[in-house]
Copies of this chain bind each other. A is one copy, B any other.
Amino acid sequence: MVKIDKLLINYKTLEAFKHFREYGHQELFMLEELQSNMIENNSESPFYGIYYGDSLVARMCLYKVDKKYDAYFDPPQDYMELWKVEVLPNYRGRGYGRALVNYAKSFQLPIKTNPRINSHQFWNKMGFQKAHYDMERDLGENPLIWLPEGVKEKTHDK
């Protein structure tokens, strides 16, 4: 059984994040906030991770989007936005990615993600499907969605 930890923002976590490929504005912003005391050490974050011993070896971000911003599901409802799902190269093939995504599913809300190209086999195995592409909504994204029982994708034809 793989343990998923909610990650708190501190220098140790932010240092560990540098090992991940999808290190970007979000991490830099957190670092600046911590350095300038705009957030406290050990503040809450949208990050969840898996530790192997003392090392962070997998992580994801998960954020609940309010139904008033929902453009993907029918009827409009709260859903989880999932991003930065990543397992460090030496720790792949152990089910860590699957464990993270299953954790995201455990909220029993629909999920939307915009994965990197070349990971579609993984998302397909996890039960995600392509959202019907809508250019004005999806500009530059490749959205995938996961529907819990009873939830439908929003359609544009109705």
Chain A interface (Cβ < 8 Å from any Cβ of B): 21-26, 28-29, 46, 61, 63, 65, 81, 83-84, 114, 117, 130-133, 135-136, 138-143
**A63–B142 contact, CB under 8 A?**
no
Contact present for A25 and B138 (CB under 8 Å): yes
Having A21-B117, A46-B135, one finds 8 other A-B pairs with CB under 8 Å, namely A22-B117, A23-B117, A24-B142, A26-B142, A63-B135, A63-B139, A81-B139, A81-B140
Which residues from chain B contact A130 at a C-beta distance below 8 Å? 25
Assess the A61–B29 pair: CB atoms within 8 A.
no
**A138 partner residues in chain B, CB cutoff 8 A:** 25-26
CA of A136 to CA of B61, assembled, Å: 12
- Inter-chain CA distance A26–B81, complex, in Å, is 20
Q: Are B25 and A133 in contact (CB under 8 A)?
A: yes
Q: Which residue of B lies closest to A139 (CB)?
A: B81
Instruction: Assess whether A84 is in contact with B23, with CB atoms less than 8 Å apart.
Output: no
Per the bound structure, the CA–CA distance linking A117 and B133 in Å amounts to: 24
**In the assembled complex, which residues on chain B have CB atoms less than 8 Å from the CB atom of A21?**
117
For A45, the closest partner residue in chain B by CB is B135
- With a cutoff of 8 Å between Cβ atoms, the chain B residues found around residue A26 in the complex are 133, 135, 138, 140, 142
Cα separation A141 to B81 with both chains bound (whole Å): 12
